[in-house]
Structure 1
């Protein structure tokens, strides 16, 4: 967890009047990232907040990540043999021949995968199997209903009252279908889904519902915990995605998607304090959000217990101490042209502009003072170790961790980096205490690219030893190497 901004709204009190919103607030799959395992249970941020407060905190999704697709599930209106849900029948062959091997009733949307050697149902093969899902849909209001289906490259056929809406004409590693039909209140519609596993990891998800306008009214809550950002389904290797800002798994912009940005502005106009939790696997440009949100927490893709971790940070059970391992640029304009292969302007080492959040940046619920620092010598021979001592004080009222960072810059290294991280230590300090932090800088720490030899080497010259809590606002000590 990396706390990027806090104007004092955090940590929240247990009894604070809050509402949880955002497309990532109740999304467990987002938290897994890519190349993931499949946990038996994932604590979402919504669950984490409800658990830590002991209250049924209200929740509104508010918007999607990028495009308006407010799908409201009506799976609860499906029944089979007079009982809620779909009846699922399985065969251990791909043609649904002979005796079935398992029957189950599904009362929640279908979400099956053999990833992690998990069978669709007890007694069903991991491969070479098929299934039939049947139920009757009886809507409570007339309108246009949407069925969402996602499968592997195997067989699939979806029909309503005998009319086929999806068939097996399209093959691929992953296939996602959205089909609609009109339904009248009180009438019954027979749904049948046939499935046969393909030659990859078996995958099947199915739901039925309606596309509706989002509710964005935060009501009487004083604070909105908005959990947004992007998702592994948008950024990843060869993703079948083509929406504004994302194409084929690549990001065409680092800006927060406009749909979320506009909703945050709307919440600010409602007079709400906004705690923004950003989930992403890479940097997101958050300049407008930095100006309107009261706090920003970078939660990345936090894994199966991520909701617990976020809640413990937001409510002060844990004092955050994460530091950014990448630069958070202010906006797209700070990125060099994609076809420019020079290092100029890239990463904290070559960037001369001021980013939104620097490499190594991260806040705490306490403050740290770098009271003094000294080297064991002002000059040394190339190849010598140099010892650095820093006196660090926790000047706040809470115990906490500081990540002490040491950078080195060589004066006159034209074309070289403006600074390079060469050492760091995570230090735990009780409130009001001080500690001397010792570093031994070996010759490797002073290596730069030597034009004469064409290799990295320690060369004579004047150096700056830079130290502090991030890659910006650093203090310095001079050193001469002979």
Structure 2
């Protein structure tokens, strides 16, 4: 064995901020809250006012104001504050095509947020992630699969995104506008979807048509129908003006046209970006003045600290600050931060409701509904009980691909490997990792390469101490199957304190073959901490990694001449706010492929868990390897190392089932041609392994649909930096996709008939009623997603197809149901080059089916519109 030192700076994920916006007319702040807020603001000094305009608002004891940090995350579960129910990542939730499910998920998120808020205490200080102002959902249009943060969105269609946002927002806020359970903050307003590189200073010169037809509709729906009480402005500029200082957007569009009454929050450090990256103003005093005058009420950051200077120099009037503060404190009053009436419906929400049994069942339901079946040759699925399975692939047994980004800590996560063992029997499962996610990207060392000190179990022996020097008897000793833990704001065990412990893992490392190895220790760093948790890794009693908390020397390169075991020891000292630990490696490719080949030889069917991970796609990541850069992708194909694994498995001649786990579309061209079945499981949340196993076993019939287009190759896409919609998404793409938006198969078959309309000739401005009959023709019960598409042939700039309705329905074998849709004038409208939305005269086609026209079962009919009607923006 020889050692070659190397170093790697561990990446950190900056939390993204979202603006909080008070509701539209239907959910406007009550006069009492406004009056209380105005009276309180009138008592503040200028320095006190400025302090409250920043997201980490300090206490003002003389006025009875507790400290409140506005920054809380709840994208797919309340995040970054300990245990929570972890749902599928947002893109997976979108694949359910179930707005009622999104409402339930939003309700769960805000219930758990309220429980944590109550635990801190009404009237007490609430630190970051302990508040009720939730910076979610992300409803940017996923216009290009290369964007690493597209996983946080509801996909590429403005109508689907808007409807899911409405459900989620209403779930977050509850049914009482005067006293919301929490406040939702749709983000990032507007026209923001990568690239991550340059996101702090790029300017979007999007056409008036694309702005109105694609980028604004979901935000409009979130405000006017969802009643979001807050909104977040984006980093980018629009037509030369940073969005957070864009009066046309924040005042004219948002408040005047849409009737928004809430508050706007900036994306984190977006005001500072206006000075340092956009060069919009020469200093933060002038940038802050421009932002708050345009309507950005709250600064996530500290740029607003220069507002006193802005007031003194006349850049902004003090009354403008008062307006913003009144909006903010009205929201805090309505949330009940200082206590409410004795009949407060939320007072009884306790910590017992965090990750409750009911919430765990909902997480499983959401994971099941998100699964999309893309291929099932000769009905190989469901798999039969008693079958022997080779479970291979880098995503078969990793926590990070369950939780994704912006996540809480899952208490009892189930990986696919664990789920399959539970459903098919451990004796029928032959597992190997097989490959990394991508060349140069370490993966958790699998259980197959670790052996505990007693040689009886796979994994390492963990000794857990309630102090930091490893002295004396550990509080807990156990065998950890893999070292892949999320301990954000939680303890590894109830026997340990959450913020003060040390762990020593010992055992043996079992190389699968000779060659060069990279060992790595990944620690999820808290990015605003003064110090970090030190880790040390020893191989054969030689220290190969010694990280004192400076993010350096987190990798070591070694050469193993053979497969003999090597003693391994990992020490972790946790005294800060870092969030977990992973013991990782890069193993020789041929050794891993040979392992996979042996597993396949012992099995009847191979199940390969491939795709991406939050280590390669996400927000401003420090990753630069083939296919990935800075959190975005440079190639949408499956990484070469995983492609080689699939081909090795298929060479056996045995059936191959591919399960894609990712946050975005992957060009699975080879798999479409050669695999026997393909499932898309996304990043499925805490119950993901159980959900995948139930689908593979046939206990659940998949009914999800793709919320994005799966393209065949990167070359099919327009330039990533272009925000023009021509050539993008199913609405404007002229090529042949690998798998189209809205696509998904089932273990049963559905048929359509009797598409009827309320009239064949509609007057512009009138609604249109449509109904269609759907029938389950198969022998299994299942969910069908009924989709309605409008085609406007001959109208300039009209999309190829436009989704205008959808409904997820459950049908027993032989059951038929008539589904009705109400198509509003806005759904029947078109947008011209100047951005005007009108209902235009002409002949139209309406299609109802289980996919887009031409992609599946369905029926169509035609109608005409006479006259024209201009619609409000």
| TM band (smaller chain) | 0.7 to 0.9
Match of 2:809 in 1: 427
CA-CA distance at 1:345 after TM superposition: 1.2
The equivalent residue for 1:459 is 840
Tell me by how many angstroms 1:334 deviates.
1.7
Check 1:472–1:335 CA distance in 2 against 1; reply closer, same or farther (3 A cut).
Answer: farther
Q: Which one of the candidate residues 541, 545, 550 is aligned to 1:171?
A: 550
Q: SS at the partner of 1:310? A: helix
Residue from 716, 719, 740 that aligns with 1:334? 716
2:201 matched to which residue of 1?
none
**Out of 135, 148, 163, which is 2:520 matched to?**
148
Secondary structure at the residue paired with 2:609? Answer: strand
In the alignment, structure 1 residue 76 sits paired with structure 2 residue 452:
yes
Name the counterpart of 1:4: 374
Question: Kindly tell me: are residues 383 and 21 of structure 1, through their superposed partners in 2, closer, same or farther at Cα, counting changes over 3 Å?
Answer: same
- 1:373-412 deviation digits (Å, cap 9, x = unpaired): 1222111111112111212222222222211111112232
Matched, 1:119 2:486: no
Matched, 1:43 2:414: yes
- 1:213 is matched with 591
**Aligned partner of residue 308 in structure 1, secondary structure:** helix
Structure-to-structure mapping, 1:34-433, within 5 angstroms: 34-54=405-425, 56-61=427-432, 62-67=434-439, 71=445, 73-74=449-450, 76-77=452-453, 85=461, 87-91=463-467, 103-105=475-477, 107-108=479-480, 114-115=487-488, 117-120=489-492, 125-127=497-499, 129=500, 131=502, 133=504, 147-151=519-523, 152=525, 153-158=532-537, 165-168=544-547, 171-172=550-551, 176-178=554-556, 180=558, 193=571, 195=573, 197-198=575-576, 200-206=577-583, 213-214=591-592, 215-217=595-597, 218-433=600-815
What is the deviation of 1:89?
Answer: 4.3
Distance 1:107 1:388, change over 3 A: closer
| C-alpha deviation, 1:416, in angstroms | 2.7
Deviation at 1:422, TM superposition (A): 0.7
Quote the residue 1:443 is aligned against: 825
Task: Give distance in 1, aligned partners of 2:719 and 2:562.
Answer: 54
Whole-Å Cα distance in 2 between the matches of residues 175 and 26 of structure 1? 26
The offset of 1:319, in angstroms, is 1.2
1:360 Cα deviation after fit:
0.7
Distance 1:472 1:259, change over 3 A: farther
* 8 Å CA contact retained: 2:451, 2:507: no
CA contact 1:139–1:184 (8 Å) conserved in 2 = no
SS at match of 1:267: helix
Task: Check conservation: 1:320, 1:365, Cα contact below 8 A.
Answer: yes
Could you say if the C-alpha distance between residues 187 and 451 of structure 1 is closer, same or farther in structure 2, counting changes exceeding 3 Å? closer
Q: SS state of the match for residue 427, structure 2?
A: coil
1-side partners of 2:649 and 2:463: how far apart?
A: 43
Q: 1:78 to 1:34 in 2, by over 3 A?
A: farther
Alignment partners' CA distance in 1, 2:839 and 2:831:
9
1:296, CA displacement in angstroms? 0.5
Cα distance change of structure 1 residues 22 and 342 upon mapping to structure 2, 3 Å threshold:
same
Q: What is the distance in 2 between the residues matched to 1:323 and 1:316? A: 18
Q: Per-residue deviation at 1:467?
A: 2.0
Mapped partners of 2:567, 2:423: distance in 1:
43
SS at match of 2:660: strand
Query: Which deviates the most, 21-30 or 341-350?
Result: 21-30
Which of 425-434 and 316-325 deviates more?
425-434
* C-alpha distance in 2 between matches for 1:369 and 1:188: 60
Q: Report if aligned partners of 1:113, 1:201 keep a CA contact under 8 Å in 2.
A: no
> How many aligned positions are there?
469
1:410-440 CA distance string (max 9 Å, x none): 2322223111111011222222233222222
Aligned residue for 2:65? none
**Distance verdict in 2 for CA 1:421–1:277, change over 3 Å:** same
CA contact (8 A) 2:847 2:853 kept: no
Farther off after superposition, 14-23 or 275-284: 14-23
Alpha-carbon spacing, 1:480–1:331, altered in 2? closer, same or farther (3 Å): same
**CA offsets, 1:1-39, max 9 Å, x none?**
110111111112113343222221222332121122222
TM (normalized to structure 1)? 0.85
- Inter-partner Cα distance in structure 2 for 1:374 and 1:447: 20
Deviating more after overlay: 142-151 vs 455-464:
142-151
CA positional deviation for 1:468: 1.5
Q: Pick closer, same or farther for the CA change 1:425–1:311 going to 2, 3 Å.
A: same
CA RMSD of aligned residues (A): 3.6
Deviation readout 1:238-291 (Å, 9 max, x if unpaired): 223232212222211111111221222222221111111111111111111100
Query: Deviations for 1:174-205, whole angstroms, at most 9, x for unmatched residues?
Result: 9733354889999997968463634x434444
Structure 1 unaligned runs (5+)?
none
Mapped to 1, the partners of 2:760 and 2:581 lie a distance apart of 67
Provide the rounded CA distance (Å) in 1 between the counterparts of 2:761 and 2:806. Answer: 22
- After TM superposition, the structure 1 stretch with the greater mean CA deviation from structure 2, 21-30 or 69-78, is 69-78
**Residues 106, 290 of structure 1: alpha-carbon distance in 2 compared, 3 angstrom cutoff:** same
Larger % of helix: which? 2
CA contact (8 A) 2:373 2:704 kept: yes
- Note closer, same or farther for the CA distance 1:396–1:175 as it changes in structure 2 (3 Å cut): farther
- After superposition, what is the alpha-carbon deviation per residue over 1:338-380, rounded to whole angstroms, capped at 9, x for unaligned? 2333211101111111211111101011111112312221111
Q: 1:411 to 1:41 in 2, by over 3 A?
A: same
Q: Distance in 1 between matches of 2:664 and 2:572?
A: 39
Q: What does the per-residue CA deviation read over 1:189-237, in whole Å, with 9 as the maximum and x for residues that have no partner?
A: 7968463634x43444457998681212211433211111112222111
Secondary structure class of the residue paired with 1:480:
strand
Residue 401 of structure 2, aligned match among 30, 48, 55: 30
Following superposition, the deviation at residue 170 of structure 1 comes to 7.1
CA offsets, 1:310-354, max 9 Å, x none?
111112111111111111112222211223332111011111112
Q: How far off is 1:74 after superposition?
A: 3.8
- For the residue of structure 2 that corresponds to 1:119, the secondary structure is coil
